[in-house]
Amino acid sequence: MKTLIKNVNLINPYEILFGYGVVVNEDKIVEINIEDNIKIQDIDLVIDGKGNFLVPGFVDIHNHGNTGFDIMDRTEDALDSIGRFHLQNGVTSYLGTVITSSHENMCNAIKNLADYKNKRGLSQLIGIHLEGPFFSLDKKGAQPGKYIKNPNMEEIKQILNISKDRLKMVSIAPETPRALDIIAYLKSKDITVALAHSSASFEESEVGINYGATVATHLYNGMREFNHREPGIIGAVLLDERVYCEIIYDRIHLHDAAVKIALKLKGTDKIVLVSDAMMAAGLCDGTYELGGQKVIVKEGRATLETGNLAGSTLNLRDAVYNMVYYLNIPMKDAIRMASLSPAKAIGIDKYKGSIEIGKHGDMILIDKDINILGTMVMGKWIPHSN
């Protein structure tokens, strides 16, 4: 089936092209052209963008669930519901993030993710992000402390085997015993390594980066505090050009000034917007769970009973909106931080993250206020009611 989305302002990826059209054949983009130059004789479906913006589908590489479901629920229905909510908010691809738990629970969740078959009309589960359990207990945040342990190569190899090649990213504290061996091993398997929940010094962090780590998980959060005599992990990841930095921009996890500092040091190409959403995303305030722990959500702020932040209720549409309307970031740059930058961070930018010929037909139609008018995922068009 051939689909034309016409009469759009195309954001792709460093400029805005006005009055363009995009043709998708089955699941691939096959033509991008000035609208008047596109032949419509063999087009099966024509969608009029009415002068709105056509942008790449968002890619969320760090999220734990939404709409009352958790990645750790280990059911097909949970992943269906999670994917449905993602798509409503412009996320056409995501990594299912497995939180620290017992080895058995983590393996079962990974197996469920590995066995899951993507469905047309839902956001595509493109892999697994293992967030834990090899962290610093001092910086555990909302990770269940009783399951945090030192890195274990045999466990990683078992997880990699269970994942059926769907393991895309592993978060780890680089200062923990044998962490460097695991970082080097994962890099050799083309798996992205992220530094997270860490008390690492500046030097320890740099060593981890030299061994192959290229992402900082939720920058500033779950990290040794910056100090002018010991910049620590925050100083290392902000200064090293090899590292992408995740940002949870719900205006709860981070002060606007902290986000501005990261943007100045990293540039928009190296900032990755993530939701770090938990099961309360898309629902009202109340009591929920994350990793078997009680989470209280009040005014959209998710915390453990201890007061520690416990994920978020954010979605990437709102993160992009916040960048544009609170920090005055150009729309094209905010969009890139939610699409091409995360795709590059996990090595899938050859087929996702931007609207280019040969890439997957993953796109969203938005207005100037980032309201989502329609979504295309793998070539299937899904109109939105708003």
Q: What residues are labeled active site?
A: 276
- Round to whole Å and give the CA distance between 302 and 278: 8
Edge to edge, what strands does the sheet with 301-304 contain? 286-290, 293-298, 301-304
CA-to-CA dists, residue 35 to 23, 254, 296, angstroms = 10, 42, 50
Is residue 19 annotated as involved in ligand binding? Answer: no
212's tokens:
């192959």
Is residue 309 annotated as involved in ligand binding? Answer: yes
The secondary structure of 107-164 as a DSSP string is: HHHHHHHHHPPP-TTS-EEEEEEEE-SS--GGG-TTS-GGG-----HHHHHHHHHHTT
3-state per-residue secondary structure call for 27-96? CEEEEEEEHHHCCCCCCCEEEECCCCEEEECEEEEEECEECCEEHHHCCHHHHHHHHHHHHHCCEEEEEE
Structure-token match 């200064």, residue found: 239
Q: Are 35 and 366 in contact (CB under 8 A)?
A: no
Is residue 64 annotated as involved in ligand binding? Answer: no
Is residue 258 annotated as involved in ligand binding? Answer: no
Q: Are 213 and 194 in contact (CB under 8 A)?
A: yes
Is residue 161 annotated as involved in ligand binding? Answer: no
Is residue 314 annotated as involved in ligand binding? Answer: no
Is residue 253 annotated as involved in ligand binding? Answer: yes
Q: Which residues are annotated as a binding site?
A: 131, 142, 197, 218, 221-222, 229, 253, 309-311
Q: Which residues are annotated as a binding site for substrate?
A: 142, 221-222, 229, 253, 309-311
Q: Which residues are annotated as a binding site for Zn(2+)?
A: 131, 197, 218
